[in-house]
Every structure is written in C-alpha cells, then in structure tokens.
Amino acid sequence: MSIVKLAVKRPVTIAMLTLAVMLFGFVSLGRIPVTLLPDLAYPTLTVRTDYPGGAPSEVEQLVSKPIEETLGTVKGIRRIESISRAGQSDVLLEFSWGTDMEMASLDVREKLDWVELPLDLEKPVLLRFNPSEEPVYRLALSLNENDQSISALKQLRTYAEEDLKRHLESIEGVASVRLGGGLEDEIQVLVNERQAAALQIPMTLITQRLREENINLSGGRIEADRAEYLVRTLNQFKNLEDIRSIYLTTRNNRPILLKDIAVVENAYKERDAISRVGGMEAVEVSLYKEGDANTVQVSKAIQSHLQQLKTANLLPEQYAIKPIYDQAVFISAAIAEVRDAAIIGGLLAMVIIYLFLQRVWPTIVISLAIPISIIATFNLLYGYQVSLNMMSLGGIALAVGMLVDNAIVVLENIARHQQHSDAEQAAEVGTREVSGAIIASTLTTMAVFFPLVFVEGIAGQLFRDQALTVTFSLAASLLVALTLIPMLSSRSRNKSNAEIEPFAYAKGWRFWLKTPIYLVFRWIPFALISVFVAIARVLTKLFTLITTPLLKLFNTVYQTLEAGYQRLLNVALKRAGVTLGIILLSAAACYTLLPRLPVALLPNMAQGEFYVEVELQPGATIYETDMVLAELGNVIATSDELNAAVDRYYTIAGTGSLLNAAPGQSGNQWGRLNVVMADHNMAATEKVQQQLRQKVQSMPGVMAKFGTPELFSFASPITIEFVGYDLALLQQAAQQFSTTLEEHPQFTDIRVNMTDGQPELAVYFDHAKLSQYGLTSAEVSELLATKIGGRVASQFSLDDRKIDILVRSQSADRNSLRDLQQVIINPGAAREITLQAVAEVVPVVGPSEITRIDQQRTAIVEANLNYGDLGSAVSNAQQLLDETQLPLTITARVAGQNEDMQRSFTSLQFALVLAVFLVYLVMASQFESLLHPLFILFTVPLAGAGSVLGLYLMGTELSIIVFIGLIMLAGIVVNNAIVLVDRINQLREEGIERYQAVYTAAQQRLRPILMTMLTTVLGLLPLAIGLGEGAEIRAPMAISVIAGLLFSTLLTLLFIPCLYLLVDRKSAATGVKV
C-alpha cells in the first residue's frame, strides 16, 4: 500500500501521527538551546607560554622559535603565527576548516612534550578560541556612596569573591564567574635592606621562617583514660602581630624579630585591572555559561537570582549591582524578529493562497503545511543538536513561503479530479499523479544545500544550521503534501449514502441503562460538533462577505494580467528568436552592474554598542591607562547630546579580568571603553564615535581601535604584512606605510604592532667576579626577583579565605636605577657586595613585540574603514603599497579580512557550480531527458541577473550572505520552469501540436507559477525589509532571492516557451527523448 493510499484509507492513523509529531515537536522546542549564532568551532589553537622577565627577543629565540619548529609538523596546520612580547609567548596555530580539533589538540600536546625550553619555565598552556566563550552576562558591583577609599574597595572585592561569586556560580547553566577590578587583600612584608644587611639576615631566611611558623599539622592519636585524643599543632597566624613577632635569629645575644627589620601591613596586590562604570570604580563580574546551556534561560536565571538577593536582603545596603551587558537581550530581540518575520511571511502567503483559490477550506488545508512542517522540523533540529539561532530560525523564515508549494500543486490536482470522481478517489489519484513532480521539485531545492559541505571558512560553519533547517522543513512539507493534504481533501465531501444500521432499542431495564450511554457517546459529541460547524460556517460567511471587494479587485487585476500575458505570449512565440535575444541582452545588461557592487566579507551588524580599545606607549602604568579611559568617558559625560544618546559606558584598564585575552590584548598599557547606545540609531552612534576619535587623536602616544563585539573574526578589515629579518628595517617600513595610510581619507584607526617596547634595565653579570665571591648567576637572579618583584612566602588564613603573604624590599629601596645598583647580593656575609660590583645595569629599549608568520619575522599595519566597502579599500591599500619604496630585503602584501573573503568566495563559487550540476542531475532523472533540463537551467543565470539588479538598486553589499542566497536561488527558480516544461510534455504526449502545446501549457501554468512565486516572495518580504536586531545578516539573502525570483519568473514565462519552441524538434508521435 502506497503512502498516499494509506493516508486516504487511514485518516485517523494520519491524524494521530500528525498530532504525535507536533507533540514531540513542542517538547523538542523546549529543549533546544537558544544562542545568537551556531557553534563557531574556529580551527585555531594558541600555545601560551609565560617567561617572567624575558625580553621580546629572548622570548622569540628561546620559546617561540622552538615551539614553531616542533609544531610545524602537526597534521592539518595551514598557518603558524607567533607573537613574542615581554614575559610572554603566543603561538597561534590555524588549521584547515574541517580538521578534527580534538585530535589536533592531542597531537599538539604530544608535540609540546618534545619542545626544549628553558628549565625554569612553566609548561605551555593550550588555549582554544571560540567566540561563544564570551561572557553571556556582565555585572558591575559598586558602592552606593562615592567612597573610593582603599578599605572600601578592598571590602567591595572581598564581598564579590566570598559571597556574590558563590551565589552566582550556583545558578544552573553558569559555568564560571570571573572578577575584575577592586583591590585584592595582600599582606606585605617590606624589608629594610640596610637593617637586614647590618644584621646579616638574608631574604631567604625571612621567607623560610614565615613558611615554618605558619603551619597546622596533625600529630596522630593518644589513648589515655579510656579515651582517644587527636593531637594537633595549631600554629597558623591569627593576626598581623603574630607575623611581626616571628623569631628570625640571634645577634649579639639578642633575639631578632621580623618587626625589627621589616614593616608588616595589610595592603593590596599590584593591580592588573581597573574597572569603572559611569566613571566610578567598581568590580566587574563576568558570567560564562556552560557549553550547551540556553543563553536566554541562563540570563533569566541570573536576573531571577539577583532579584532574590535583593529581596532576601543578602546584598549589603552600601553596595549596588547593575547589569552592564546581557547577551540575551540582543539574542532575544534578534530571534523575536526572525520569528515575527516568519509569522508575517506565513500570513502573507496564506493571503495569496486565498486570493487565488477564493475558498476558505482549501486555503486552510494548504496553510496547515506551514505550522506542521515547522513544528516537525524542531524534532530534527533537536536530534541533530542544532540550536535555535539567527541562522536556523532564518532558515525557517526563508522556507516558510516555499512550504506551501507542494500542497498547492497537490490540492490543485485533487480539485481537478473531484469534478468527475468521488473525494477519496480524487485525493488518491490526484496526489499520486503529481507525487513524482513534487518530489523532484523538492529534491532540486534540497540538493543545492549539499554543496555547502564543501564550503570552507566561516561561511560553511555559519550556514550549516540554516541549510539543515531548510532541508528538514522542506522534507516535512513534502510528507505533509503526500499524506495530510490528501487525507483532509478526502474528507471535504460527504460519504456516499450507505445503508446505516439503525439503533436497536433495548427493552426493560436495558433501555434505561443503554439510553444514557447512547446519548452521551453519540448525540452530545454530535451536538458539540454541530455547534462548532455552525460557528465556523458563520465566521466563513462573514469572512467571505468582508473579503468580497478584495476578491473582485484581485479577479479584475488577474484577468487583465492573464489577458495581457496571452497577447504578449502570442507575439513572443511568433518572434521567438527576437524575444530570446531581448531577454538575454537584458540579463547581460544587469550583469554589467556586478563590478559596481560593494564587496564585503560579512555585513556590519548594528548591535547597539561598540568599544574603543586604547594602547599607550610601552612602559605606561595601569593608572595612566585608566586616566586615558576616564578622559574618554568624560567626553560622553560632559556632553548633553552624547549623554542622551548613550545608555551607559564602562571601562576596563589592563587585562587581568579577561578569561581569554587575545594576543593583541596584553599588559597594563591596554584598555577598553565599552559604550552601549540608548537605541540603534546609526547616526547617533557615528556621532559618538566621531567625538571619541577626535579626543583620541589629541592624545599623544595613544593608539585606538574602534570596533563592535566580536561575532565572526579577529581579523581587521585592512591588514598589511611586511616580511623580513631586520627588526629595525621592518619597524621603519611599517611606520612609513602607516603614515601613508593616515593621509588617505578611507582609512582610520591605524595601528602598528611593532613599536618601541617596554623600557628595560638589563643586568649583565661579570661571571669572573661572581665566581671570585662564590656566587652564581642563578642565586643573584633569584635574590633580585625576591627583593624587587617579591615572593609569596605563605598564606594568612582569615575565616575561610587565604591571603598571600608577600616578602619584598621596602619601596624606598627599589625606586630607581641607583637603588637597583646598590642592592646587596650577599646578605649575611661579613663583607657586603652590591650589584654594581659584579654586574653592569644598562637601560635599553627593545621592540614591543616580535611577530612571526610562517616562521618569518613580520611587521603588521592594521586599519579600519572610514567609509566604503572592503573591496575598494583593498584596491586602494594595494595601490598605496605598490607606490611605496621598500628596502630590498622587505616584502609586503595585503592580508586581513581580504584573505578570508577570497577564500570564502572561491569555495562558494565552487558550491554554486556544484549546486547547479546537482539540480541538473535531479531534473534529468525526472524528465528522462538531457535536453529539457538544459532549458530549465537557463532560468538560473536569469535569476542571477535579477539578483544583481536588486542588490544594485538596494545598495546591498556582495557578501557571503548574498552568495548563500544565490545558491538557494538555484534550487528555487527551476521549480516554475519544471512545472511549465512538464505540462508541455504532457500535452505533446496527448498528440497536441508543438506550438499549441507550448501556448496552452504556458496559459494553464500561469496561475500556479504566479501563486508559488508570490507565496515565496511575500514569505521572504519581512526579512528583506530589514528591521530589528540582526537584520543586516538576514536582509541581503532575502533581497537576492526575491529579486532573482521575480526577475526570473517574469522572464521565464516568455523565455522557456520560446526556447522550447526553437530547440525541441522531437516528434510527439515517436516519443523519442533527446
């Protein structure tokens, strides 16, 4: 029994299966995670190695180069980049898309075990970058009063660490909580160098005694007096006086205590991050979600938990919590926009169906294909672990107009058979006749998404979810058209009047028993159904009465259009060659607009916020960076106009609070100003950015980069790479070209990675003198590290907190070059020796960082665009580069987003060609002909011409979004031509002459072609209008599909008949296939 016959004969079975699918669809919908974008598994690994005190050149030679050489043999690596800066090495490994990153990580870890690094270095750390690892929620914990004292900021940080963080980490879906800003407690032991030297007490003795005296240990058990006692030595420090009273040694028969040579104070750690909200210092609290958690639900849980904290008075009254970033706001708004677009598109499609059919019941039957197909799709999305995001929901919105196409074809054929057959037979025969055609039509649309598997780069990763969603929904709509539509159509007429067995009334007590049961189970449901049917009929009549003027207007317009098309078709067929020439010339004219289209990798997405990253000269302190950010914040705070346009702003100086700092984000000289706009007014945003940019340009030594929160790529729009070996020449060439770029109005926010680095005091030992005094380089280096930088000797226990005890020289002994030279390197010896006696201390300035790409030293110049598209900017940059005189040993090239764009465009062009080929295979199999599919494929370039024209008129950039739309278009536009050619072949097989068959088929298929085209176009129209969050991603694809479909449909109605008439010369009688 075929599926169509089963659907007609077993209506209850089909109804129950449909209800089951919808039930499980709703269940799946509740369990599918909601995210902004698909899981962008970037094929990138970063090997980070800390080298405390190492200069960039040392880090390059001792760390970066050995790691590069060892990891260069890892399978799948296409690019290696290393960044060596003071105290740190980052080696970035970029793999080919599609690489199994779990296996790659294991391979890299295995290779790292073979790298020969300096013995005193810690093991390298392997980091995995993923844009989804950004915090989903950010809070600012601040003081209600303007108390910015040290004690207040320490208490603020303590509350954040000990109370707030624990509360937030208990929330379901929150993976980790990271804090930044505030002051962290630290007990500092500041040693007086002169007093310690006079008493011959080395720094190592102080750290040793602190460690020995601060201890709790178990001493075993003792059994006495029939009892068992635990023995414990409790000697941990209870207060600062305990630390001050530690016995160190005896000198001149006098015990020397720690307080005799050092000051012990409750201070705070050196700051690696300063956070401010609205200019006031605060503690930034960043919350990261679990990998598979629902971002929107996590955000709601966080908000609910914060409300509970306030309600339960668990938040001290002197503190305030303010949300400063919530990723769910943008996600919810973007997804709501896609959802609304899908709903509006579906309603518009239903209106078109009603206008053509002009009957309520068939309209309802066809329209059921939309919600049922979408709900069924949720089951498959859940099974394939596809999240609800902008791309997957965008796929549903794109498909919503196409979901009714199969149902329209099936119902129209059933209606034709119902004129001379009963309902069941008409439903079965009518559906079976067109089943092959709608299967082929659906396969052609689904086939175009298969080549996306071969798309490299971010395009393939980004559109996988959309391809799966469209494929699943179209497959579901096909099943609906083959089962539910014929089942409902077979119920549209009453059954034949068969002999109904009368109810046999019982007698006696059985009558009184059966009659109530009969009434309950037969007449009450019948009465309820009758009431429902009556209400439905009244509403139908009322709806028909209201829409009658609209239907009359539509009929008048359609009859005029049909009559005009018949006259135009008659003229076109009589002059088929001329018609084809005019159409082809029109398409060629549209393609001449292609070079004029602006080109970009991805459209810029207005997220309602932006950031300004600043970088000061190397050597700048975190307080100087904080001061620069405060000045930028004052630009907003002191302007009424800007203050009204900005909802809030917050700053962070230093990278201490970042979970996974990017290679460009390093050191105390780095900071960021985040600005959240009151609305998404682009003019207001540009006004604020312009004012901030003017302020930055007035600050000497400050480089700035404007951007929006990262969603896709770290690459700057314009990146120029200068390759060579001589660092001085590289720096000179990069600085020279940056000056050239600054003179061009299209480029702004220009940054050079190679500048003068952190000022250093290089200590060069005289090894002969060291050996003369019985010292070694390692011993003296360790001593200097302890006295200058400090060493954590132990930890002080306060309740359940652990506070570091840091030992170092007092600040008066480490403030200048002379202080460093006068450091005593042999404390405890009879004769004091200073550092200058055995070493030379030289101030030096090296490069800020050394970048190597594919094991070659590289200087990088980055720039943003002031106006224009990426394509024109690349051309201008290349022209400026060609005009620049470079040293013979230096080569340069344009990189950045241009590389990603070229790679993505190349793979998408291949996918487009492959999609067209697959469509041809499906059609050739359907028609059992090699010639007829070629007719139909001519609609694809016509659609492309329409897309180019639409993009040009709308001023839309040519991006990978548009390319995906063109690939989709290749599977959609052929459907109308398939319907037309299939009908021509049917009429010719019936013996009708070729010209008459072409003319008749074009007239008969005008209505369904217009119907399916308009449902698809109007289904996409809400996306093309481009309103709401994330519209920049959705609109270009919808515009390209709508423009291509409209243009190709209008031309196809003339092009295919004329082409068929000229080319297909086969005889209908012989039935020979070409």
Q: For the segment 1020-1068, what is each residue's pLDDT rounded down to a tens digit?
A: 888 888 777 777 778 898 899 999 999 888 888 888 899 888 887 654 4
Residue 534 has pLDDT above 80, yes or no: no
Q: For the segment 769-810, what is each residue's pLDDT rounded down to a tens digit?
A: 888 888 888 888 888 888 887 888 888 888 778 888 899 888
Residue 589 has pLDDT above 90, yes or no: yes
Q: What is the mean pLDDT of the chain?
A: 83
- In a 3-state reduction of DSSP, which class is residue 947? helix
* Distance separating alpha carbons of residues 475 and 483, to the nearest angstrom: 12
Residue 387 has pLDDT above 50, yes or no: yes
* Distance separating alpha carbons of residues 557 and 329, to the nearest angstrom: 45
Instruction: State the pLDDT at residue 657.
Output: 55
Q: Give the confidence band of 664 by pLDDT, cuts at 50, 70, 90.
A: low
What DSSP string describes 805-838? EEEEE-GGGSSSHHHHHT-BSSTTSSS--BGGGT
Q: Give the confidence band of 497 by pLDDT, cuts at 50, 70, 90.
A: very low
**Same domain flag for 313 and 418:** no
Residue ranges making up the domain that contains 785: 186-268+759-847
**Same domain flag for 382 and 464:** yes
* Distance separating alpha carbons of residues 675 and 227, to the nearest angstrom: 68
Q: Among the three residues 87, 110, 128, which one is the final residue of a domain in this structure?
A: 128
**Same domain flag for 254 and 158:** no
**Same domain flag for 190 and 149:** no
Q: What is the mean pLDDT of residues 545-558?
A: 84
* Distance separating alpha carbons of residues 671 and 653, to the nearest angstrom: 4
DSSP state of 785: I
Q: Give the confidence band of 498 by pLDDT, cuts at 50, 70, 90.
A: very low
Q: For the segment 602-652, what is each residue's pLDDT rounded down to a tens digit?
A: 777 777 788 898 888 877 888 899 999 999 999 998 888 888 888 888 888
User: Which has more pLDDT, 425 or 1066?
Assistant: 425
Task: Residue 288: give its domain's CATH number.
Answer: 3.30.70.1320
Cα Rg of the chain, angstroms? 38
Q: Do the beta carbons of residue 936 and residue 1056 sit within 8 Å?
A: yes
Q: What is the mean pLDDT of residues 218-238?
A: 81
**Same domain flag for 464 and 557:** no
Q: What is the mean pLDDT of residues 870-888?
A: 89
Residue 519's closest CA among 531, 505, 539? 505
CA angle at residue 407 from 402 to 413, to 5 degrees? 130
Q: Among the three residues 128, 144, 170, which one is the final residue of a domain in this structure?
A: 128
237 part of a folded domain: yes
**Same domain flag for 315 and 450:** no
Instruction: State the pLDDT at residue 453.
Output: 67
Instruction: State the pLDDT at residue 592.
Output: 93
Q: What is the mean pLDDT of residues 199-210?
A: 87
Instruction: State the pLDDT at residue 492.
Output: 59
User: Which has more pLDDT, 139 or 519?
Assistant: 139
**Same domain flag for 447 and 469:** yes
Q: What is the mean pLDDT of residues 245-266?
A: 89
Instruction: State the pLDDT at residue 507.
Output: 54
**Same domain flag for 370 and 434:** yes
Q: Do the beta carbons of residue 1068 and residue 988 sit within 8 Å?
A: yes
Instruction: State the pLDDT at residue 591.
Output: 92
Q: What is the mean pLDDT of residues 654-667?
A: 58
The terminus-to-terminus CA distance of the chain in angstroms comes to 34
- In a 3-state reduction of DSSP, which class is residue 127? strand
Count of structural domains within the chain: 6
User: Which has more pLDDT, 690 or 361?
Assistant: 690
Q: What is the mean pLDDT of residues 951-974?
A: 86
Instruction: State the pLDDT at residue 364.
Output: 82
Residue 509 has pLDDT above 70, yes or no: no
- The single residue listed with the structure tokens 């536009």 is 973
912: its two tokens: 């487009």
Residue 628's closest CA among 666, 673, 667? 673
Task: Residue 386: give its domain's CATH number.
Answer: 1.20.1640.10
Determine how many CB atoms are found less than 10 A away from the CB of residue 637. Answer: 14
223: its two tokens: 């059994």
415 part of a folded domain: yes
Q: Do the beta carbons of residue 613 and residue 670 sit within 8 Å?
A: yes
Residue 36 has pLDDT above 80, yes or no: no
Q: Among the three residues 495, 511, 536, which one is the final residue of a domain in this structure?
A: 495
Q: What is the mean pLDDT of residues 359-369?
A: 81
User: Which has more pLDDT, 133 or 924?
Assistant: 924
530: its two tokens: 């009758």
Among 126-135, 481-490, 589-598, 832-841, the range with the most confident prediction by mean pLDDT is 589-598
Task: Residue 90: give its domain's CATH number.
Answer: 3.30.70.1430
Q: Do the beta carbons of residue 353 and residue 363 sit within 8 Å?
A: yes
598 part of a folded domain: yes
Residue 99 has pLDDT above 50, yes or no: yes
**Same domain flag for 914 and 1054:** yes
444 conformational bin, left if phi > 0, alpha if psi -120 to 50, beta if neither: alpha
Q: What is the mean pLDDT of residues 707-715?
A: 64
Residue 1074 has pLDDT above 80, yes or no: no
**Same domain flag for 1028 and 977:** yes
Instruction: State the pLDDT at residue 510.
Output: 58
Instruction: State the pLDDT at residue 503.
Output: 46
733 part of a folded domain: no
629 part of a folded domain: no
* Distance separating alpha carbons of residues 754 and 731, to the nearest angstrom: 6
345 part of a folded domain: no
Residue 728: exposure state from Cβ atoms within 10 A (0-12, 13-18, ≥19):
exposed
What are the b/e assignments for 779-801, b being 16+ CB within 10 Å?
ebeebbebbbebbebbbbebeee
Handedness of CA 922, 926, 930, 933 (dihedral sign): negative
**Same domain flag for 906 and 1000:** yes
User: Which has more pLDDT, 754 or 256?
Assistant: 256
SS (HEC) of 406-468: HHHHHHHHHHHHHCCCCHHHHHHHHHHHHHHHHHHHHHHHHHCCHHHHHCCHHHHHHHHHHHH
Instruction: State the pLDDT at residue 1067.
Output: 46
Q: Do the beta carbons of residue 196 and residue 261 sit within 8 Å?
A: yes
Q: What is the mean pLDDT of residues 290-309?
A: 84
594: its two tokens: 């292609």
699 part of a folded domain: no
502 part of a folded domain: no
CA angle at residue 428 from 422 to 433, to 5 degrees? 120
Instruction: State the pLDDT at residue 1068.
Output: 45
Nearby residues of 437 by Cβ (< 8 Å), 6 or more positions away: 409, 926, 978, 979, 982
**Same domain flag for 389 and 476:** yes
